[in-house]
Chain A
Amino acid sequence: MSVFERIKSYLANNRFLVLLSVIGPGFIAGNAGNDAGGIATYSIVGAREGYGMLWALLLITFALAVVQEMSARMGVVTGKGFGDLVREQFGVRVTLAIMALFVFANLTVTIAEFAGIAASMEMFGVHKNISVPVSAVIVWFVVVKGNFKQVERFFIVISLVYFTYVVSGFLANPPWQEVASQIAMPRIRFDRDYFLLFITMVGTTVTPYMQFYLQSAVVDKGVRIEEYPYAKYDAYVGAFMTVFIAFFIVLCTGTMLHPAGIVVDSAEDAAKALEPLAGHFASHLFAIGLLNASFLAAFVLPLATAYGLSEAFGWESGINKTFSEAPQFLGFYTAFIAIGAGVIMLPGVPLIKIMFLSQTVNGILLPIVLIIMLRMVNDKEVMGEYVNSKRMNVVSWITVAILILLTLLLLVTSVLA
C-alpha cells in the first residue's frame, strides 16, 4: 500500500472526518431557526428578565434535539421528505391543509427575514432600497446556480458567523457566577408576563420549517442509512448550536440592558441600545449577527417551502437541478424571494402585524406537524426497524405534548391579547 493510499484509507476511516462530511442539514436547520424573529425574542428575553430564563434554554435544547433527530431519521430511512410522506400516508386533504398553512407561515417569516436584513443594514447606513434587492439577488443566485455541495458549505460558513454573538456575550463581561447560579436555581415567577415570554421563546425556537428543511435536505444530500449515526449527531449538534447562540444573546442583553432597565421590542432596538453601554464594536457585532441570521433564514425558508411543495405534488426538486429539470421547485423558490423582498420594498408595511400572523400560523401548524411526525415515525410500513423505541416514544410523546401545550397556550394568549 502506497503512502498516498494509506492516507486515503485513514481519511476514509476517520470517524471525525466522516462526521464532518455528513454534518450539514441538521446544523443548518438549527441555525436557521435562530432567524430574525428568534434573535428579537432572545434579545427581549435578556433585556426583560436578565438571566432569569436561561434555565429554559436547557429544556429547549432537549426538545429541539428530540424533534430534529426524528426528522433526520425519517429522511435517512425513507429517502423521502416530510411533504412526500404526508401525501403518501395521509392523502390529498391533509396535505393541502398543511401546505396552505406552511406556505402562508413561511411567506410571512420570509418577509420578516428581509425586514431583518433591511433593519441591520440600515444601522450601517445602507438604505433598504439597496440592501434588500442586493441580498435577494444573492439569495436567488447562490441556490439557482450553485450545486448542493457548494450551497451547503456556504450555509455552514454563514452559520459560523453566529459566533459574533458569542463574542458579544463575552464582551459584555457577564458575572459568570451569577449566571451559573441563576441557571442552577432559577427563580421562576408565576405571572403572566414571565409565562408569555417563556412560551414565545419556545415557539420561536421550534418551528415547522426547521423540520421540513432538515428532512428534505437530508434526502437531497442523499445521506445513506449506514450514515444515520452521523446524521443523528448532525441533528443534535444543530440543536445544541441553536440554543448555544441563543444563550449568548440572552447573556449579552441580560448583562448590558437588563440592569439599565432598558426595554427593547426588536433585535435592532437591542443593537442600538447596546451602543452607548457597550460601545461601537459590540453594537456592530450584534447588528452583523442579525444581518447574518436573517440572511441564512432568507435562504432556508424559501428552500423549505419549495422542497415541501414539490414533494407534496411530486415535482422534481433539488438544489443540483436546473430550471428546466425542476421548474416548479426553482419557480417557487424564486417567487418566494421575490415576494419576500418585494413586500419590504413597499412603503408602510405593517411588519408587527405580519410577524404576529406568522407566529399564529406557525403555532397552528406545529402541533399538526408534530403529531403527524410521531405517527409516521412509529409506522412500521414507513420506518421498518427504525421506528421509535419504547423509551424514545415516551420521551418524544412527552416532549411533543409539552410543545403542543405551550404552542396552544401561546396561540390562545396571542389571540386574546
Chain B
Amino acid sequence: MPFFAGDIFVSEVYNKPVLDQAGEEIGKLKDLTLGLGDPFPAITSFIVQSGKQSFVVLWDQVNLFNRRVISVNLLKSALHASELSPSEVRICRDLLDKQIVDINGAKLVRVNDLKLGDVNGKICLIAVDIGLRGILRRLNLESRGERFLSVFHYRLPASLIGWHYLQPVEPKLSKLTLTVSRQKVSQMHPADLAEIMSEVSQKERSAIFGTLDVETAADTLHELEPSVQADIIDDLTKEQASDILEQMPPDEAADVLGDLPEKKAEELISLMEKEEAQEVKELLEHEEDSAGGLMTTEFLSFPPDMSVDDAIKELRLEAPDVETVYYLYITDDQERLLGVLTLKDLILARPEVQLRDIMRSPVKTLPLNAEQQDVAEFISKYNLLAAPVVDEDGFLRGIVTVDDVVDFLLPPASRKKRRKL
C-alpha cells in the first residue's frame, strides 16, 4: 500500500512528474484508471507519458502518491508500454469536464475537478468538484483566488458532490447522471447532506454550512460527529450559530453546546431566545451520558381531569413542537408524574371520559443520573418508544426517546456510525 496522505484533487497530480526507484523521471502523469468499488471506485493504475510513449503503472507499484511527489517501486527500464483495454474508465479522459445532468436529464454543471480520498485503505474517487474553487484549482489559482475574494469578505464555497450520488459510469460516456433531481439537490435529506459534508474538508464544510437554511442546518448539524459539530459552530458567526441552536430540539442543542468550551457555550445561550435558552441550560446541568443529558424537555403532558376529547384537541396543537406523540404523560399541577397514556389508548377511549380513568399507573421511570447503557436496556426491556425521566421528588423532568439510545440497542456491527472525517 503506497503512502497516501489526505485528500487529493486530480488537478493537483495531473501532469506531475513521476519518479522511478532511482529518482529518475519516467514521465508525466496523464490519467488515472478506475476499477470497481461501491460506492467509491478505487484507482487501479495510472498512465505516465514520456514523449510519445505512455506507460501504465499499477497501483501496487506506487511508492509515494501526494501533491508533491509521485514515485514508483520500479526502475524505468522495467516498465512496459501501456496496453489498456478500451473498456477501462479513465478519469481525465472520461470524467473531467464532462456534463452532469440530473435524473431528468436537465443539465446542471460540469465536472470541474475530481477528489480522491482514502476509503478503507484504498485510494478511491470520492467526489466531484462542481464549484468555482475547482475551476481555480485547475488554473493553479485556488489560493490566490481565495485571498483575492477574502478582500471582499467572500468565502469561496466548496461545491462537492459525493460520488455515490452519481450513476455508475462507462467508458467514453458524454455525461454523468446524478441519481437525484435538481430540486432534490437543494432538498436533500439532512442525513445525506451530512454524508456529503463529512467527505469535504473542515474549511469547505463550514462554507457549505453557511449556505443552508437554518432548519436544514440544524437537522444536518445533529447528524454530525460531536467534534465536527464543534468545529462548525466555531466557524459560524455567533448569530448564525444561536439561530441554528434555537431551531434544534433542546436535547440536541444541549449536546452540541456541551462539547463547546464553557465560555463559548454560555455566550451562545445568552444569544438564544429566553425560553429555548432556559430549557437548554437545564439540560446542560446533567451529565451528557446520563438520562438527564440524553432527555428532551419537550413532551406532552396533560392534567388528569381533562377529557379525552379535549386532550385530542390539545394534542393537535402541541404535536408540532414535541419529539414524540406516542406517549402522553399525566401530571399534576406541579408536574409530578401520575400516569401515562399511549396514543392508541387515547384514540380508542370514549371522548367524554377523563384521562385519570384510563391512564396507566404506576409508571416505570428513570432517575436523572441513570447511565446511557441502563437507559437503553430499560427502553428495550419494556419495549418503549420513550422513557420518562423523574428527579428524586417524582417530578417529571423530561423524556428519553428511543432514537437517542438506539445505537446501544443494536449489535455493534450495524450501529449507525456518526459521520466524521
Point out residues on A near B: beta carbons under 8 Å. Answer: 80, 84, 87-88, 91-93, 96, 310, 312-317, 325, 381
CB of B107 within 8 A of CB of A92, answer no
| Shortest Cβ-Cβ A-B pairs, 10 listed | A314-B110, A92-B138, A316-B107, A314-B109, A314-B99, A87-B97, A88-B97, A316-B106, A314-B107, A92-B135
Residues of A within 8 A of B172 (CB): 381
Tell me if B139 is interfacial: C-beta within 8 Å of chain A: yes
A80 to B99, CA, bound (A): 11
Query: Which residues on the B side are within 8 Å of A381 (C-beta)?
Result: 172
- Within 8 Å of chain A (Cβ to Cβ): is B248? no
B108 at the interface (CB under 8 A from A): yes
Closest-CB distance, A319 to chain B (whole angstroms): 15
Contact of A91 among B108, B109, B138 (CB under 8 A): B138
Q: Which residues of the other chain, A, contact B109 by a CB distance below 8 angstroms?
A: 313-315
Known: A87-B110, A313-B110, A315-B107. A96 touches B99 (CB 8 A): no
Q: How far is the CA of A317 from the CA of B135 in the complex (A)?
A: 20
Question: A314's contact among B96, B108, B138, B139, by CB below 8 Å, is which?
Answer: B108
Contact call B97/A91, Cβ cutoff below 8 A = yes
- How many contacting A-B pairs (Cβ < 8 A)? 38
B106 neighbours in A (Cβ, 8 Å)? 316, 325
A86 nearest in chain B by CB position: B97
- Shortest A79–chain B CB gap in Å is 9
B189 to chain A, nearest CB (A): 22
Q: Is B54 among interface residues, defined by CB-CB distance under 8 A?
A: no
In chain B between 106 and 136, which residues have their CB closer than 8 angstroms to a CB of chain A?
106-110, 112, 135
Contact B99 A92 (CB under 8 A): no
With both beta carbons as reference points, the residue of chain A lying nearest to B110 in the complex is identified as A314
Instruction: Return A327 CB to nearest CB of chain B, in Å.
Output: 11
Determine the residue in chain A with the shortest Cβ distance to B106: A316
- Taking A84-B99, A314-B109 as given, write out 16 further A-B residue pairs in contact, using a Cβ cutoff of 8 Å, ordered by the A residue number: A87-B110, A88-B97, A88-B174, A91-B96, A92-B138, A92-B139, A93-B138, A310-B107, A312-B110, A314-B99, A314-B100, A314-B110, A315-B107, A315-B108, A317-B107, A325-B106
State the CA gap A310–B110 with chains docked (Å).
10
- A315 surroundings in chain B (CB, below 8 A): 107-109
Instruction: List residues of B (145-195) whose CB comes within 8 Å of A's CBs.
Output: 172, 174
Q: B238 within 8 Å of A by Cβ?
A: no
With A92-B138, A96-B139: A316-B98 Cβ-Cβ less than 8 Å: no
> Roughly how many angstroms separate A230 CA and B137 CA in the complex, as a whole number?
43
Question: Which residues in window 75-103 of B have CB below 8 A to A?
Answer: 96-100
- Expressed in whole angstroms, the Cα–Cα distance for A92 and B97 within the complex equals 8
- Of all chain B residues, the one with the shortest Cβ separation from A316 is B107
Q: Tell me the minimal C-beta distance from B99 to chain A in angstroms.
A: 5
Among A80, A93, A325, the residue within 8 A (CB) of B139 is: A93
Q: Which residues of A contact B110 (CB under 8 A)?
A: 87, 312-314
- Give Cα A324 to B96, complex, Å: 27
Centre residue among B110, B138, B172 by max chain A CB count within 10 A: B110
Could you name 6 residue pairs across A and B whose Cβ atoms are closer than 8 Å?
A80-B174, A91-B138, A92-B139, A96-B139, A314-B100, A316-B107
Which A residues are in CB contact (< 8 Å) with B138? 91-93
From known contacts A315-B107, A325-B106, infer whether A92 and B98 are also in contact, taking CB-CB under 8 Å: no
Which residue from chain B places its CB closest to the CB of A88 in the assembled complex? B97
